[in-house]
């Protein structure tokens, strides 16, 4: 029997709702919050307020585009965390209200699991490539950088993680140093295309096992820019593209090195990437090239599934619902990943 899932995502600065029939996407509506741009980062209080304004029209549009009324939904999947508490609370409270009003069961979703399971969404007119189990996923977002081993949709083990900054944070913070707008990742990606990626060398982390570190790179980037600016105040303006290209290359190499090690250690050769930074062209090209060299099957998400979206929450909700994992009415949002595990 077909299962229709409404997904709701509100963990950071995008309000999103999506409808799936089984794993097939019927609609995916995202309202991005422009209000944070002028502050150079997400302001939590402003994010919660914008979610409150957006959530009803966004859900309404998602249902309408899918041609589904609320009473036809089998379950409401919502992001429980990790994320900004005030933002999460809007999605959780809305899900509860809708659940009570229409007597629909709810399913809690871990946002990071959502990013990973976005690889199992299909489009109405097109099946997308799905990795086989077990596979490895490099999860790279604004808040997290992890290598995970995925044995089934519900069995996910973190085998490597960042000990300080996330890869997305490294992009965003270095962008800020150069005076680029938030979020910096996509801007650096664009500028890097015109630069020389060998122009600058930045510090590389020395971290054991499969873990990552990006704070040393960030500091070394900061010092380079500061020293050069003292000598020439026009430095950033003149060398922006070279700085971006060199920084992006360094981040991609750091990410790939541990991923290669994880594949060797586990013998797993189905390799996926997910999360906002998986939109990065340097990372996408790098994974494909590494895969060709090493006999991997590589899985790159469609661009619309890289950054935060409710389709990934709905598909995770679908697998949880099928396994009878329903949320209770006292479900509450959690800010940190550790509280979810």
Binding site for ligand KG4 (CB under 6 A): 12, 141-143, 168, 171-172, 183-186, 189, 275-277, 279-280, 307-308
Residue 171 binding partner per list ligand KG4, Zn ion, none, with a CB distance cut-off of 5 to 8 Å that depends on partner kind:
ligand KG4
Contact residues for Zn ion, defined by CB under 5 A: 141, 308
Residue 184 binding partner per list Zn ion, ligand KG4, none, with a CB distance cut-off of 5 to 8 Å that depends on partner kind:
ligand KG4
Q: How far is the CB of 167 from Zn ion (least distance, A)?
A: 12
Question: What sign for the dihedral angle of Cα 341, 159, 257, 289?
Answer: negative
Q: CB nearer to ligand KG4: give 75 or 167.
A: 167
| CB-CB contact of 85 with 56 (8 Å) | no
Cis peptide before 318 (omega within 30 of 0): no
Q: What is the DSSP letter of 148?
A: E
Q: How far is the CB of 37 from Zn ion (least distance, A)?
A: 18
Strand ranges, E, within the chain: 4-9, 14-21, 24-32, 75-81, 106-110, 135-140, 145-152, 155-161, 270-274, 297-299
Residue 4 binding partner per list Zn ion, ligand KG4, none, with a CB distance cut-off of 5 to 8 Å that depends on partner kind:
none
Q: How far is the CB of 236 from ligand KG4 (least distance, A)?
A: 19
Alpha carbons 116 and 306: distance in angstroms, whole number: 10
Q: How far is the CB of 279 from Zn ion (least distance, A)?
A: 11
Alpha carbons 301 and 252: distance in angstroms, whole number: 17
How far is Cα of residue 301 from the mean position of the Cα atoms in its chain? 11
Residue 290 binding partner per list ligand KG4, Zn ion, none, with a CB distance cut-off of 5 to 8 Å that depends on partner kind:
none
Residue 291 binding partner per list Zn ion, ligand KG4, none, with a CB distance cut-off of 5 to 8 Å that depends on partner kind:
none
Q: CB nearer to ligand KG4: give 275 or 286.
A: 275
């Amino acid at each position: 029997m077909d299962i229709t899932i409404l997904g709701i995502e509100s963990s950071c600065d995008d309000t999103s709702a999506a409808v799936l029939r089984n794993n097939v996407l019927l609609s995916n509506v995202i309202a991005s919050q422009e209000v944070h741009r002028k502050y150079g980062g997400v302001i939590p209080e402003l994010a919660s307020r914008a979610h409150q304004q957006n959530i009803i029209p966004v859900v309404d549009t998602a249902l309408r585009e899918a041609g589904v009324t609320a009473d036809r939904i089998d379950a409401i999947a919502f992001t429980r965390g990790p994320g900004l508490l005030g933002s999460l609370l809007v999605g959780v409270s809305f899900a509860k209200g809708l659940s009570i009003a229409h007597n629909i069961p709810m399913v809690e979703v871990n946002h990071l699991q959502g990013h990973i399971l976005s690889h199992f969404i299909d489009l109405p007119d097109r099946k997308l490539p799905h990795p086989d189990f077990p596979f490895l996923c490099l999860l790279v977002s604004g808040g997290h950088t992890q290598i995970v081993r995925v044995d089934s949709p519900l069995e996910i083990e973190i085998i490597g993680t960042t000990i300080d900054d996330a890869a997305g944070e490294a992009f965003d913070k270095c962008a800020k140093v150069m005076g680029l707008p938030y979020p910096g990742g996509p801007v650096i990606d664009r500028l890097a295309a015109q630069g020389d990626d060998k122009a600058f060398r930045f510090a590389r982390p020395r971290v054991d096992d499969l873990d990552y570190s990006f704070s040393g790179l960030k500091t070394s980037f900061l010092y380079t820019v500061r020293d050069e600016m003292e000598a020439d105040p026009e430095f950033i303006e003149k060398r922006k593209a070279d700085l971006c290209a060199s920084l992006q290359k360094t981040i991609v190499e750091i990410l790939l090195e541990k991923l290669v090690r994880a594949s060797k250690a586990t013998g797993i050769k189905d390799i996926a990437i997910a999360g906002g930074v998986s939109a990065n062209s340097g990372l996408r090209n790098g994974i494909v090239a590494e895969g060709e060299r090493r006999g991997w099957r590589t899985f790159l998400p469609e661009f619309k599934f890289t950054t935060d979206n409710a389709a990934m929450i709905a598909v995770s909700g679908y697998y949880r619902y099928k396994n009878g994992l329903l949320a209770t009415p006292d479900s509450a949002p959690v800010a940190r990943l550790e509280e979810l595990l």
